Structure 1
Amino acid sequence: MTVAAVETPVVVIGAGPVGQTTALLLARWGVPVVLLEARASRELAGSRSICQQRDVLDVWAHVGAEAIAEEGVTWTTARTYYRDRELFAWSFADRGRSPLPPFVNISQSRTEELLDRRIAAEPLISVRWNREVTALEQDASTVTARCADGSAFIGTHAVLCAGARAGGLREALGVGFPGESFADRFLICDLRASLPGWETERRFYFDPVWNPGRQVLIHPCPDSSYRIDWQVPPDFDLAAEEASGGLDRRIRQVLGARPYELIWHSVYRFHSRLADRMAVGRVLLAGDAAHLVAPFGARGLNSGVPDAENAAWKIAFARLGWGAPGLPDTYHAERHPAALENLEVTAATMRFLAPQTDAERTHRREVLEKSAADPALAPAVDSGRFAEPYWYVDSPLTTPDPSRVFAGRPPKGQAATPGPGLIVPDAPVTVPGRPEVTRLRQVLRGGLTVLVPAPGDVAGVRTVLRGLGPVPSAAYVLSDLDPDGLLTEALEARPGEAWLIRPDAHVAAVLPANDPEALRAAAHRALGLT
């Protein structure tokens, strides 16, 4: 979409994937951005955050970075082993039958390269390297970012996406970052090797003979490469391991005699921390600057990108007069509970993977041994619950529907039933005259969208939408978009109801299609106007 850009930019601090995504999304709304990065240049090394979930791929496709999904390795099956025995395997559920893959594996370095290409093509984004932000000052209408070199940048808002470098700014904002760090460390090796049959599978090993008492995780990556993560003791010494030949022996225990190339390796610790506030005045905290989680379940970057989208559309709508000036204030109300959910899920996984008490160690051993004998007990084995979009059912922007009460976190591997606060399934759709549109979310990100059950409902809905003033909006007849009924089935849509959907594809309300006052009230609520 094209809108007139307002002059004062938004300041985005940190040019990692979350900062890059924030900048690109704001630019899509016509909002200029200054993207500040403390480093002098991009560090293109190592896999780091590799698992990118479907809903994140959808956001990147929206900003023109479809190549991330295209280049990544699609894996569909997750296998879990105890010692030398397979306990279970599962595949991803997709309520909407999206054309996008459920997950791809691609190195964070390559993701950053591809996002950099999009940023270079975007005239509304100005990237400033070697700009370490040391202070943030606010007044009633602006934020000033002061840098170590003496430069300063003024914006209407700032989004802090500086990850591990955000500590000083977080502290200066008065934001606490409570949590814990885990003692065990993890060794990552990126390898290139030929492993037939492993190209589309993630493999997780509990207590293999070649890493007793701990775990090993193997992920396929592009170009016949693989990432292997070993859980190692707190006193693990990588330099000594390499010097003694132990690293090669460790790799050979997994690969056997196959030739391999070691591309990159590193050792890291897991942290579980959450900012006590994700919004301080006109400064929003996103990604690792706001929350750190253990990576099992790939909930790090896959929660940082939804942070970016939530922040971007709210800042844009507030700046452009489409929503309430305080709309960005609701960022904390939606993304902080999402981060709490991630902490709860990953903390449970870490208690299973790295038990800290005798009771936890006994529980883990008993669950694994019993599951090896009885596959019905496999759900008790926790190797990580994969990232899923959060549900804004308690958000001040969501209009509840008593007939569609959220049932809570769905069973592992299953998708929640759509309803107010939840993201809509990305089902295949057809839009007359727009052959480039193949899936639902491609038509949702231009503003507020209403799906109506019948052609006779469109006129009244469009009258309500026009009454919102300049707010970008659209209405579609469900059967026109969905001639095969896949979307209707995925939504479990009922006759006579309309679906009001936000720019981030979350459902704002489900309400009678013939009730214009209810639609008007729900739209005002979604925009923070009530």
Structure 2
Amino acid sequence: MRDRSVAVLGNGPVGQTTALLLARWGVPVVVLDGRPERDVVGSKAICQQRDVLDVWEAVGAGRRIAGEGVTWTTARTFYRDQELFSYELGDPGRSEFPPFVNISQARVEAILDERIAAEPLIDVRWGHQVAGIEQDGESVTVTCDNGVRVRADYLVACAGARGETVRRELGVSFDGRSFDDRFLICDIRADLPGWAQERRFYFDPAWNPGRQVLIHPCPGSTFRIDWQVPGDYDLDAEVRSGALDRRIRAIIGDADYEIVWKSVYRFHSRVVDRMRVGRVLLAGDCAHLVSPFGARGLNSGVGDAENAAWKLAYVLNGWAGEELLESYHQERHAAALENIEVTTATMDFLVPHDEEQRRTRVWVLSGAATDPALRARVDSGRLAEPFWYVGSPLTIPDESRPFGGRPPRGGVPAPGPGILVPDVPVALTGCSRIRELARDGFLVLATPGAQVPDVVTGASGPVRVLHLEEIDVTGVLADALGARRGELWVVRPDAYVAAVVTDPASLDAALRRAVGRTATPSPA
């Protein structure tokens, strides 16, 4: 291994994204995966959220993934044969990406593989199953079951849900629960007019009484149908008896169809107690598992990847101390707990624990079509959204912009410290969007009347200061931010707002805090 490097365990989308983002910062990466080669069976995670597409665009893949995927903007919810409600997914700015695109995980991996193949700083090694992890004050060493030992400065463990060896070697717990009911997935290819731009969720339909069905459109006239089934469900027996064909035809009628992939699985809700253990950061399913209702698994894993990558790059380049890495655990563990809370509430509504909960659910669903208060209690899965780092030690709160808590379904928090900056157009040569500017280092946006220092000293590494009126000629960015006269907006390398301040001294403190340096430097 080369000097100042990172090893990544797992070559799935989270590991791929981590490697590509680190290489973008100039950090050499070795990616280790125990499989002999890429496994392309099944669509797996299919819903890619707008802000995740934006992260992938930073490594040259977002537009292509969005272009190949199926865009959907409407989420519809039904009870039996009656539509209860639908809602459109909002846009906090004027993003060039749709709220969600559906595209198979396998296709995403193939596109990211192409980007990795073109990146000389990334070395991918298949057939390297981790057997042991050791670390000291200077490095971490991975021992593989083929006898190969890989030594790096840091390790990001993206080993997936079956990363038991990694978790055991690091001594972290993986507490939580598993759900009794099972779920059947069939990806079918069929011509179903009118279904291509909508996600449909059915409670207690006649063709799956007492349980749920979720339908998602995918590219190539393919649709994913997800049935909740009993814990003793036998897929092979249903195929042999013809019951699977009847199950599908109850939904699509007489249309011709082809089964592309089918699988049965059980949901888990688990999270590690620590996402940083010394020089090792845990990410994706290796660190947290949630039910897929809301598409929070892969999307949250990409959030882990970006958070880890910029912080490791800053430490390895000497722009921040190792204490910055502790904020990875603080920020992403809080995000994991939020996902656990949201998805557990969904599963409790989908699979009631007792007769009282069942009666309550029937009452809510029966009245939701006409009662807005009951409609708000229907939980078919709150769709993935970027987490807010308002409680992070890197964030300076702004009392004039208090965080309003979890926003309404389909909404986003108002811009401010700890919130992802809205993705809007800007007028700057070589750059068309504000997040493109943000991801090159720290960005300071000065509104009219702001006191702008001649030299910015609060943070090492790249810092760019821009006057809002020079890049925001239409005023759309100022409106999206709710910016006020005399403010300095500090934006982190992952496009999150770290602080909004009004004087150079506060700017220096905000930049220091945003890279984990909270102490005031001693005078020379």
- Map of 1:140-151 to 2, 5 A cutoff? 140-151=137-148
Corresponding residue for 1:519? Answer: 507
Q: CA deviation at 1:95?
A: 1.6
Corresponding residue for 1:134? Answer: 131
1:28-62 Cα shifts (integer Å, max 9, x gaps): 00000000000000011211100010110000000
Q: 1:325 and 1:234 mapped to 2: Cα distance?
A: 46
SS of equivalent to 1:109: helix
Find the partner of 2:516 among 509, 522, 528: 528
Q: CA deviation at 1:462?
A: 5.0
Quote the sequence identity (%): 61
- Map of 1:36-55 to 2, 5 A cutoff? 36-55=32-51
User: Are residues 1:161 and 2:161 paired?
Assistant: no
User: Are residues 1:471 and 2:461 paired?
Assistant: yes
For 1:289, give the aligned amino acid. C
Q: 1:473 and 1:109 mapped to 2: Cα distance?
A: 37
Find the partner of 2:433 among 431, 439, 442: 439
SS of equivalent to 2:245: helix
- Map of 1:146-225 to 2, 5 A cutoff? 146-225=143-222
Q: 1:399 and 1:28 mapped to 2: Cα distance?
A: 28
Q: 1:308 and 1:457 mapped to 2: Cα distance?
A: 34
Contact in 1 for aligned 2:459/2:512 (Cα 8 Å) = no
Q: 2:371 and 2:506 mapped to 1: Cα distance?
A: 52
Contact in 2 for aligned 1:53/1:103 (Cα 8 Å) = yes
Contact in 1 for aligned 2:19/2:122 (Cα 8 Å) = yes
Contact in 1 for aligned 2:161/2:289 (Cα 8 Å) = no
Structure 2 unaligned spans of 5+: 519-524
User: Are residues 1:489 and 2:486 paired?
Assistant: no
Corresponding residue for 2:14? Answer: 18
Corresponding residue for 1:498? Answer: 488
Q: 2:364 and 2:472 mapped to 1: Cα distance?
A: 45
Q: CA deviation at 1:253?
A: 0.5
Q: CA deviation at 1:468?
A: 4.8
Contact in 2 for aligned 1:461/1:475 (Cα 8 Å) = no
User: Are residues 1:68 and 2:65 paired?
Assistant: yes
Contact in 2 for aligned 1:462/1:475 (Cα 8 Å) = no
Contact in 2 for aligned 1:87/1:375 (Cα 8 Å) = no
Corresponding residue for 1:34? Answer: 30
Q: CA deviation at 1:393?
A: 1.1
SS of equivalent to 1:326: helix
SS of equivalent to 1:27: helix
Corresponding residue for 2:294? Answer: 297
Structure 1 unaligned spans of 5+: none
- Map of 1:420-459 to 2, 5 A cutoff? 420-431=417-428, 433-434=429-430, 437-454=431-448, 457=450
Q: CA deviation at 1:379?
A: 1.2
User: What TM-score results when the alignment is normalised by the length of structure 1?
Assistant: 0.96
| Cα gap change, 1:461 to 1:227, in 2 (>3 Å) | farther
Contact in 2 for aligned 1:352/1:382 (Cα 8 Å) = yes
User: Are residues 1:241 and 2:238 paired?
Assistant: yes
Corresponding residue for 1:480? Answer: 470
Find the partner of 2:95 among 76, 95, 98: 98
Find the partner of 2:407 among 402, 410, 434: 410
Q: 1:149 and 1:95 mapped to 2: Cα distance?
A: 49
For 1:25, give the aligned amino acid. L
1:379-434 Cα shifts (integer Å, max 9, x gaps): 11100101111111111111121211211111111111111111111112221x22
1:354-376 Cα shifts (integer Å, max 9, x gaps): 11111211111110011134355
Q: 2:189 and 2:427 mapped to 1: Cα distance?
A: 41
Q: CA deviation at 1:469?
A: 6.9
Which range is displaced more, 474-483 or 45-54? 474-483
1:245-301 Cα shifts (integer Å, max 9, x gaps): 011110000110000111000001100000011110000000000000011011101
Corresponding residue for 1:59? Answer: 55
User: What TM-score results when the alignment is normalised by the length of structure 2?
Assistant: 0.97
Q: 2:356 and 2:187 mapped to 1: Cα distance?
A: 35
SS of equivalent to 1:380: coil
Q: 1:41 and 1:227 mapped to 2: Cα distance?
A: 26
For 1:170, give the aligned amino acid. R
Q: 1:388 and 1:219 mapped to 2: Cα distance?
A: 18
Q: CA deviation at 1:457?
A: 4.6
Corresponding residue for 2:521? Answer: none
Q: CA deviation at 1:325?
A: 2.4
- Map of 1:318-397 to 2, 5 A cutoff? 318-375=315-372, 377-397=374-394
Contact in 2 for aligned 1:55/1:389 (Cα 8 Å) = yes
Q: 2:255 and 2:459 mapped to 1: Cα distance?
A: 65
Contact in 2 for aligned 1:13/1:37 (Cα 8 Å) = yes
For 1:44, give the aligned amino acid. V
Q: CA deviation at 1:438?
A: 2.3
Contact in 1 for aligned 2:159/2:166 (Cα 8 Å) = no
1:287-321 Cα shifts (integer Å, max 9, x gaps): 00000001101110110000001111101100101
Contact in 1 for aligned 2:459/2:508 (Cα 8 Å) = no
SS of equivalent to 1:136: strand
| Cα gap change, 1:376 to 1:405, in 2 (>3 Å) | closer
For 1:314, give the aligned amino acid. K
SS of equivalent to 2:357: helix
For 1:334, give the aligned amino acid. E
Q: 1:527 and 1:470 mapped to 2: Cα distance?
A: 9
Contact in 1 for aligned 2:459/2:515 (Cα 8 Å) = no
For 1:62, give the aligned amino acid. A
